[in-house]
Chains A and B, each alone.
Chain A
Amino acid sequence: MEGIEKRFPGVHALKNVNFELKPGEVHALVGENGAGKSTLMKVLTGVYKKDGGRIIYKGKEVDIPNPRVAQEMGISIVYQDLNLMPHLTVAQNIFIGREPRRKKFLFFLDEDEINRKTKELLNMLHMKIDPDIKVSNLTIGKQQMVEIAKALSFNSEVIIFDEPTAALSEAETEELFNIIRKLKNQGIGIIYISHRLEELKKIADRVTVMRDGQYIGTVNMNETSLDEIINMMVGREIYETLREKEVEDDSEIVLEVRNLKRGKEIKDVSFKLRKGEILGFAGLVGAGRTEVARAIFGADPIDSGEIYVKGKKIHIKSPSDAIKHGIAYLSEDRKRYGLMLDLDVKTNIILPSIKEFLSYLGFINSKKEDKVCNNYIDRLKIKTPSLKQKVKNLSGGNQQKIIVAKWLLRNCDILIFDEPTRGIDVGAKNEIYKLLNELVKEGKSIIMISSELPEIIRMSHRIIVMYEGRITAEISGKTATEEIIMKYATMYES
């Protein structure tokens, strides 16, 4: 791809971007959110039309007007938010749009043929998936395998992975990498988009960095360091964020959970959270961390167990009970559970506390609203042009801060963050870390669920490791290493 240009109304999304991929190469494409990676890939796969530049494929200049043409040429993409049809079976998904038909009656489908072909394909990749099962019954990891199988079924020579590991556990990630290596050995060129820079060392041959829609540069992975890549990405220094303040052993216990149980997901979980502490929850996807958080927050019913806030036993039957006791849960899926994307900043911050802003007759005191919101915007350094800005137009980091502002205003001092930095670029991640540190300095207490081990080690005072619904270890943040945590998270005996 040479000199690619793309403009949207009001935005110059791609400015003279170059990208090159060799057969049998894993070429990583990195950059902060909004750097233009996804736009570039959408141009390559025919979702967007380019406004300038040339695409040269196998030595010839080509025109890619729509996704179908890209697929037929051998360029496939595995999207971050998987593009499968949950109500259809694995086989039906893989062959959608080009189903095998009955020989004489072309309008009719050949079910035996489609299942046979799918089985062949899955066997080739050593995937143990039943072609006849509905996709909604598969785990995210398995669904991704289906997407890969679908890409391969086009005899693809270029496969693009957009944030493939964002929703995968460590074990699933390893499995994915094995498959990527296999594809690479077959001479397939792979474009790998990721926010998780640690992964690049394992998988990438070359790295291209983009920033603000511009091409910054391409480096060989074995001749560079992650710090250098990060510098190229952000164009400014990133300073290490660490715990800024330790917790005294005798500081108040704000939350205690005893013998929490819920079906197969939570098997007897007990722990304590101290004032001003960041308590990390590590574990693989499906270990039961989110389930524990949701149970404490009253979002899911529990079978048994006791919850104490500041020494007093409380009963939580619904999220509103939890909020009354000062517990807030910040979901990993911000867009679905945390925000009203089409509403403005002010409404999002005020909504749970709206009773505080009513004057008599039920009118909303909007001067008071503005004053309070501006106060939080300053305090949390939320970047927004105005209080009237729709939340969907803000960056991931700023959206996260708006959720925090919302709960602080509601007087919540126990904050449960579920994957607070998922899908957020490196620069904004540091902002979130700073925010967490400031919150604990103010005496708030934080439970942080995270799948990124470096993050959890750098931020947490204590780390609880879960495995299959149980707590398998409690480690001090000072002594924790990735190896120790992974060992307990997989209960792998060395």
Chain B
Amino acid sequence: MISNNVRFIRRENLRQLLMFASLFLLFTFFSLASPNFFTFENVIAIILATCVNGMLALGVTFIIITGGIDLSIGTVMTLSAVMSGVFITFWKLPVLFGVIGGIGTGIICGLINGLVVSKMKLPPFIATLGMMMIAKGLALVISGCRPIYYSDAPTFNEISMGSLINKLIPNFDVPNAILIFIFSVIIAHILLTKTVLGRYDFAIGSNEEAARLSGLNVDKWKTIIYALCGMFVGMGGVMMASRLNSAQPALGQGYELDAIAAVVIGGTSLRGGEGSIIGTVIGALIMSTLTNGLRILSVPQEWQIVVSGIIVIGAVYLDILRRGRE
């Protein structure tokens, strides 16, 4: 029995070890290729670039584990950013209200996604495709197709770009966005592995009918999980707006696919029932490391996209090979 346990743990660890190893290899490769890669500023830049995509990826990991998908995360992120702009710049409300309003927008969109999927029984692909278009349109309508600037609220920019750590440890300039992201990762990890929500997440993805027959209120939990994803997306939107010091209504589409790619690279199965937050974080880091490294090597941006595509296919293929051997 003990030997069984050991093998089991090893197997789970092996996957994460492999992913760490590939991230490490990527780092080593770029460090050798360019002296400008492995510097404090650049590593911070990589992590900072991971934050927004990472937030979306965290949220959608929960949904993908149920066997669902959320295509609306990119444009809902935009809508959340726009709404925080509406609260702060248009209505002159305090920054805190803008943050809550932005996150709330994400939660409401997620909640609607969840209700449409669980109560109206639409396939998640279609339900969230609809929400993707609705959010995109609303963001444009509400903003009047123009960026909203936070010129009256200078503290808003501090949320992402200020540095609490720098005040404690001088010359250690880590932007708050990274702290918020790390904090969110920890929360998401605990939610997924230690709580009832995480357990039911896996149960639904593993065998939805069995979960229902075991007495789970599958509709309720699915709705909660979509709303939870909305919350992470809303946070991503506020972070993004704060970083750019403006809400850009035309941005956001395409972000959902980057986030889903990060989740998939991280070993979460699109068929549901399997996945981890750590995997998703590494997946997101791999993607931004790649983009950053290729840019430093002066590879044109168009080619960076091509390479990202190859990485997605390669990563999932490697996972299939690994599974085949087990």
Q: Is the C-beta of A201 less than 8 angstroms from some C-beta in chain B?
A: no
The residues in A between 131 and 150 inclusive whose CB is less than 8 angstroms from any CB of B are 132-134
Cβ of B273 and Cβ of A86 under 8 Å apart? yes
Interface of chain B residues 190 through 237 with chain A (CB within 8 A) = 194-197, 199, 202-203, 205-207, 209-216
Is there a chain B Cβ closer than 8 Å to A99's Cβ?
A: yes
Rounded to whole angstroms, the CA-CA distance of A92 and B205 in the bound complex is: 14
Q: Tell me the chain B residues, 289-322 only, with Cβ under 8 Å from chain A.
A: none
CB distance from B64 to the nearest CB of A (A): 13
Chain A proximity of B15: nearest CB distance (Å) = 14
Total contacting residues, chain B, CB less than 8 A:
24
Supposing A83-B209, A96-B216 touch, asked if A88 and B203 sit within 8 A by C-beta, the answer is yes
Question: A285 CA to B274 CA in the complex, in Å?
Answer: 29
B39 lies within 8 A of chain A by Cβ: no
Q: How far is the CA of A98 from the CA of B274 in the complex (A)?
A: 21
Assess the A109–B196 pair: CB atoms within 8 A.
yes
Q: Do A97 and B214 have beta carbons less than 8 Å apart?
A: yes
Are the C-beta atoms of B274 and A87 separated by less than 8 Å?
yes
Given contacts A86-B206, A108-B194, contact A130 B4 (CB under 8 A): yes
Q: Are A97 and B215 in contact (CB under 8 A)?
A: yes
Who on chain A is nearest to B198 by CB? Answer: A109
Q: Are A130 and B5 in contact (CB under 8 A)?
A: yes
The residue in chain B whose Cβ has the minimal distance to the Cβ of A96 is B214
Measured CB to CB, the nearest residue on chain B to A98 is B215
A68 contacts B by Cβ under 8 Å: yes
Q: Mark A237-256, 1 if CB is under 8 A from B, else 0.
A: 00000000000000000000
Contact flags A27-52 to B (C-beta < 8 A → 1, else 0): 00000000000000000000100000
A75 to chain B, nearest CB (A): 12
CB pair A85 B207 closer than 8 Å: yes
Query: Given the complex, which residues of A lie within 8 Å of B211, measured CB to CB?
Result: 85, 96-97
Say if the beta carbon of A66 comes within 8 Å of chain B: yes
Q: Which of A94-148 contact B (CB under 8 A)?
A: 96-99, 101, 107-109, 130, 132-134
Known: A85-B211, A99-B196. A133 touches B203 (CB 8 A): no
B253 to A: closest C-beta gap in Å: 33
Number of interface residues of A (CB under 8 A): 25
- What residues of chain A lie closer than 8 Å to B213, measured between beta carbons? 47, 67, 79, 83
Which residues of the partner chain B approach A132 to less than 8 Å between Cβ atoms?
4-5, 8
Judged by a CB distance under 8 angstroms, whether A399 is at the interface is no
- Binary contact readout A194-221 vs B (1 if CB under 8 angstroms, 0 otherwise): 0000000000000000000000000000
> What residue of chain B has the Cβ atom nearest to residue A45's Cβ?
B213
Minimum Cβ distance to chain B for residue A264 (Å): 15
Set of chain A residues within 8 Å of B205, measured between Cβ atoms = 87
Q: Does B1 contact A (CB under 8 A)?
A: yes
Contact call B4/A109, Cβ cutoff below 8 A: no
Residues of chain B contacted by A99 (CB below 8 angstroms): 196, 199
Q: In the complex, which residues of chain B have a beta carbon less than 8 angstroms from the beta carbon of A109?
A: 194-196, 199
Task: Kindly provide the distance from the CB of B204 to the nearest chain A CB, expressed in whole angstroms.
Answer: 9
Asked if A71 is at the interface (CB within 8 A of a chain B CB), the reply is yes
- The reply to whether B8 and A85 form a contact with Cβ atoms under 8 Å apart is no
Kindly state the separation between the CA atoms of A84 and B207 in the bound complex, as whole angstroms. 7
Given the interface contacts A85-B210, A87-B205, A109-B195, does A66 sit within 8 Å of B215 by beta carbon? yes
Partner of A68, one of B1, B199, B215, B273: B215
Query: Is there an interface contact between B273 and A71, defined as CB atoms closer than 8 Å?
Result: no
CA of A134 to CA of B195, assembled, Å: 18
Q: Nearest-CB distance from B260 to chain A (Å)?
A: 20
Residue of B1, B203, B214 most packed against chain A (CB within 10 A): B214
Supposing A85-B206, A87-B273, A109-B199 touch, asked if A130 and B1 sit within 8 A by C-beta, the answer is yes
Q: A87 contacts which chain B residues (CB < 8 A)?
A: 202, 205-206, 273-274
Residue of B at shortest CB range from A119?
B1
A200 to B4, CA, bound (A): 37
- Could you tell me the distance in whole angstroms from the C-beta of A300 to the nearest C-beta in chain B? 13
A83-B209, A83-B214, A97-B215 known; A134 and B8 CB under 8 Å? yes
Known: A96-B211, A97-B215, A108-B195. 13 other contacts (CB 8 A): A67-B212, A85-B202, A85-B203, A85-B206, A87-B205, A97-B211, A101-B196, A107-B195, A108-B196, A132-B4, A132-B8, A133-B5, A134-B8
Interface pairs A-B: 6 shortest CB-CB:
A68-B215, A85-B206, A87-B273, A83-B210, A87-B206, A97-B215
Residues of A within 8 A of B (CB): 47, 66-68, 71, 79, 83-88, 92, 96-99, 101, 107-109, 130, 132-134
6 residue pairs from A and B, CB less than 8 Å apart: A67-B212, A83-B214, A92-B203, A97-B214, A97-B215, A133-B5
